[in-house]
Amino acid sequence: MPTAHSYEAKTSLGNRPRFLRPAILLIFFMAHIAVAGPLLAGEDSKSNEPVSESELIQLLLSQISELNARVATLEAEKVPAPPPSAPPAAAGPAANSPTPQPAPVPMPAPAPPLPTAPTPKPTADPDPQDNGHMVMDIPGGPNLSIRGFLDFNLDVGTVANPLVYPVTAPPSAIHNGFQFGEFDIFLNSRLSTDLSFLSEIVFGSDATNTWSIDVERAQLTYKPSPYFQVSGGRMHTAIGYYNTAFHHGTWFETPTGRPFMYYFEDSGGVLPVHIVGVEAAGLIPATGKLNAHWIVEVGNGESALYLTNPADNPVENFLAETNHKAYNIAGYIRPSWVRGLQIGANIYSDERVPGGIPHVKTYIPGAYLIFINSTWEFLNEIVLLRDNSVGSTTSHDTPLGYTQLSRKFGKFRPYFRWQEVNIPAGDPLYGSIGRYEGPSPGLRMDFTGFAALKVQYNRVYTRQPLPMNGLDAQVSFTF
């Protein structure tokens, strides 16, 4: 076994540490190239003649000027074409250089990039903050940040990853399979200091295995002050907490999916989770450490025709069915003395015109209490969906709610959710959906900062005598 002493005897580099020797050899080699290279690159007739110090300096200066000209030429080739509106720009330093273009000089090795002065970005925002997003920067326009989300699932059981109402009607046999989730593209752009735009475009497959594209959100927001902002477009309705905190990127969510109560309308969901219209919101002045906020929304409301015509979309993106508009008023507090606590409430109202039956007036009051910090997550929401047929004195009340608790242990986060949707059979719009309630324990593991593996068991009680079960394994990530 060689000792350190015997190793040193074999080398001419003395007792320097072993890891320094290659570096020293490399330095000698580079120094040799640096000194001899220019000489060797000179004329052959001079290669065997003794060179004086002044000739050597002249030769080196000549080489430097040639290299400078070469760099200028290369930089000029890299300058992009100017935008049409811009004045004719210089093609680069070489274009204006009085020095004629030299013949290409063979480079013994690629030279390291030379430091150049930073070029200011010609954008609307002089100081775009692009951390954490891919940013597309086309000269002359605002920055566009892009982020994507995707999830894959392996399902075993009837209610493994229920996403569509009725969850289990007609009853299906126990099955298993792979499922491609939502391919979600999130776009965000700041047009000016006060004006911003965001959008969420989802590519997804439905029960017919057909791909479709949905613009789930597209909203322009003007925020001149913390006390007032106004947004217009297609947004998530400020009903409860979950609907505005979690959208279509399942990676954000601790469990594998949304609570039953917040299923999307085109999946048979009973709440109007999207609204096409305008929203005003802001901080309530003089609320101090209570941090109270207000929200008012006016929009087209939810379609009723799609209940009898599945070809219709439940969200009235383009054509409002009635002149009546849906209204939602919400508020919440975020006390600064308990960071992570948020308590809020809302009331939503709409009048809908289903085909063949009387108009239905809908009221949706809701309340929530949530607490989230980096370790704990405790979410509690309850909403009452009240449908009244015009001319009838009978109200049909549907309680919807869930509670969810999780705690982080390093990369692991075990969680538990209990959820309930109980729609009375007499409800004029959703009576056929029925009742779903039950526990959903699970485990989330963030195996990198941007990807998570979740395993969730669902047990669902319905109005049928036997409960249903399912197990879902999901990989969700952002990119």
Partner 1 sequence: MRKNLLPGVVLVLSGLAVWAMAAPADEPLQVIVNPSNSVTSVSFSDLQSIYHGEKSRWPNGKLILLLMAAPGSPERGEVLKKIYKMSETDYVKYFIQASFTGEVSAPPKDVGSAAQIKQMVVSNPGAIGYVKQSDADGTVKVVLTLP
**Where on the chain is the footprint of partner 1 (CB under 8 A)?**
3-5, 8, 15, 17, 127-133, 145, 147, 186, 188, 190, 193, 196, 198, 219, 221, 223, 225-226, 231, 244-245, 247, 249, 252, 289, 291, 334, 336-337, 339, 373-374, 446, 449, 478
Nearer residue to partner 1 within complex by CB, 191 or 369: 191
* Cα 126 off chain centre by: 23
Nearer residue to partner 1 within complex by CB, 29 or 450: 450
If phi > 0 it is left, if psi is from -120 to 50 it is alpha, else beta; for residue 15 that is alpha
Please give, one letter per residue, the 3-state secondary structure of 154-219: EEEECCCCCCCCCCCCCCCCCCEEEEECCEEEEEEEECCCCEEEEEEEEEEECCCCCEEEEEEEEE
Among 213, 181, 212, 209, residue whose Cα is nearest residue 199: 213
Tell me which DSSP letter residue 289 carries.
G
Report in angstroms how near the CB of residue 424 gets to partner 1 at its nearest. Answer: 33
Report in angstroms how near the CB of residue 339 gets to partner 1 at its nearest. Answer: 7
Report in angstroms how near the CB of residue 124 gets to partner 1 at its nearest. Answer: 13
Pairing status of strand 360-372 against strand 451-460: unpaired
**Whole-angstrom Cα distance, residue 476 to residue 350?**
36
The two tokens of residue 211 are 């791909």
Nearer residue to partner 1 within complex by CB, 111 or 215: 215
Report in angstroms how near the CB of residue 190 gets to partner 1 at its nearest. Answer: 5
**Whole-angstrom Cα distance, residue 346 to residue 331?**
6
**Whole-angstrom Cα distance, residue 341 to residue 372?**
7
Nearer residue to partner 1 within complex by CB, 8 or 77: 8
Residue linked to tokens 């068991």: 457
**Whole-angstrom Cα distance, residue 403 to residue 382?**
9
Report in angstroms how near the CB of residue 114 gets to partner 1 at its nearest. Answer: 20
**Whole-angstrom Cα distance, residue 199 to residue 220?**
9
Residue 154's Cβ-count burial label (10 Å; 0-12, 13-18, 19+) is middle
Report in angstroms how near the CB of residue 180 gets to partner 1 at its nearest. Answer: 21
Report in angstroms how near the CB of residue 408 gets to partner 1 at its nearest. Answer: 9
* Cα 322 off chain centre by: 34
Residue 345's Cβ-count burial label (10 Å; 0-12, 13-18, 19+) is middle
Nearer residue to partner 1 within complex by CB, 291 or 317: 291
**Whole-angstrom Cα distance, residue 313 to residue 395?**
26
Nearer residue to partner 1 within complex by CB, 133 or 386: 133
Report in angstroms how near the CB of residue 451 gets to partner 1 at its nearest. Answer: 11
Report in angstroms how near the CB of residue 271 gets to partner 1 at its nearest. Answer: 18
Nearer residue to partner 1 within complex by CB, 189 or 300: 189
Phi, psi of 268, rounded to the nearest 5 degrees: 90, 5
> Dihedral angle at the C-alpha atoms of 305, 309, 315, 320, nearest 10 degrees?
-40
Nearer residue to partner 1 within complex by CB, 167 or 275: 275
Among 274, 263, 271, residue whose Cα is nearest residue 219: 274
Phi, psi of 267, rounded to the nearest 5 degrees: -105, 15
Tell me which DSSP letter residue 461 carries.
B
Report in angstroms how near the CB of residue 333 gets to partner 1 at its nearest. Answer: 13
Nearer residue to partner 1 within complex by CB, 79 or 445: 445
Nearer residue to partner 1 within complex by CB, 132 or 391: 132
> Would you call 28 helix, strand, or coil by DSSP?
helix
Phi, psi of 72, rounded to the nearest 5 degrees: -60, -40
Report in angstroms how near the CB of residue 349 gets to partner 1 at its nearest. Answer: 24
Report in angstroms how near the CB of residue 75 gets to partner 1 at its nearest. Answer: 25
Nearer residue to partner 1 within complex by CB, 188 or 469: 188
Nearer residue to partner 1 within complex by CB, 128 or 467: 128
> Would you call 126 helix, strand, or coil by DSSP?
coil
